Homo-oligomer: A and B are copies of this chain.
Amino acid sequence: MSKLSSSLFHFRNQLSQRNLSAKDVRDALPLQGFMSRAFISTARETFSADGKFADRIIAPYSIYKGKAAFSATPVLPTFSKLGSGSLKVDRRGSIMLKFWPAIGERKYDWEKRQLFALSATEVGSLISLGSKDSCEFFHDPSMLSSNAGQVRKTLSVKPNDNGYFISLSVVNNILKTNDRFSVPVTTAEFAVMRTAFSFALPHLMGWDRYTHQLPQSMYENPSSAKVVSPLLDSEWDK
């Protein structure tokens, strides 16, 4: 890392992290009205503004390059508590990618960011990508609504000499906009993503909850060798 690139990185971090946290909070308060569930299941979220974000973590993995920057952040699944007391995954988690353009040397425009939420299976595609492989994902946020086809998001990952180009294209026929971001990601940066995404994946799926789930009855009958299974099903039930 040369002096210049390293100082740039620091400068950028100051810019973006300051913008980021302020902006996020400001943006978050009004609920987004325009949401529809779609064929390709990516994240939709509802929330309110009564202080429940107290424990929100802000720890994106961010990559700043000449023409654009992008960051990746895990989004946990939400659970519903059923009448029985069980917790059911309500909406799967995702890895949220955000892209925003450079508007000058070491300057980025966070206002022009675009989002793309990778599903568990799309994450699976990325982390199993060979060094010569490419992949492409298509999202239509308005799918199944009357606006179907009006907004098309395409994420592509293509190999280059030292890693991949990760590009996001967003064609919005309603706003008549056409955004395209392309960020070269080095092999080392992609290794960070692969490792962090692999770490996050079971959590996106809610599988970490199984492993925190202790068979409580075990502790209730300390002198007994009987235990109650924490799960219902057996292969032999049918």
A residues within 8 Å of B by Cβ?
A: 1-3, 6-10, 12, 14, 16-21, 24-25, 27-29, 32, 34-36, 39-49, 51-59, 61, 73-92, 94, 96, 98, 113-117, 120-125, 127-128, 135, 137-141, 143-144, 148-149, 153, 186-192, 194-196, 198-203, 205-211, 213, 215-219, 221-238
A45 to B89, CA, bound (A): 11
| Contact A228-B189, Cβ < 8 Å, known A34-B236, A236-B35 | no
**What B residues does A149 contact at CB under 8 A?**
3
**Contact assessment for B192 and A120 in the assembled complex, using a CB-CB cutoff below 8 Å:** yes
Q: From A81, which residue of chain B is reached at the shortest CB distance?
A: B222
A8 to B76, CA, bound (A): 23
**Contact assessment for A234 and B86 in the assembled complex, using a CB-CB cutoff below 8 Å:** no
Among B27, B41, B211, which residue has its beta carbon within 8 angstroms of that of A232? B27
**What B residues does A208 contact at CB under 8 A?**
211
Question: Can you tell how many copies of this chain the complex includes?
Answer: 4
| Contact A58-B86, Cβ < 8 Å, known A3-B149, A6-B143 | yes
Provide the main secondary structure of the chain A interface.
mixed
A77 to B58, CA, bound (A): 12
Cβ of A21 to closest chain B Cβ, rounded Å: 6
**Contact assessment for A231 and B44 in the assembled complex, using a CB-CB cutoff below 8 Å:** no
**Contact assessment for A87 and B115 in the assembled complex, using a CB-CB cutoff below 8 Å:** no
Q: From A123, which residue of chain B is reached at the shortest CB distance?
A: B192
A9 to B234, CA, bound (A): 9
| Contact A233-B96, Cβ < 8 Å, known A58-B88, A228-B20 | yes
**Contact assessment for A200 and B205 in the assembled complex, using a CB-CB cutoff below 8 Å:** no
**Contact assessment for A89 and B211 in the assembled complex, using a CB-CB cutoff below 8 Å:** no
**Contact assessment for A234 and B59 in the assembled complex, using a CB-CB cutoff below 8 Å:** no
**What B residues does A98 contact at CB under 8 A?**
233
**Contact assessment for A210 and B205 in the assembled complex, using a CB-CB cutoff below 8 Å:** no
Closest A-B pairs by Cβ, 10 of them = A54-B85, A59-B206, A7-B236, A125-B188, A128-B191, A124-B192, A124-B191, A117-B235, A45-B229, A199-B202
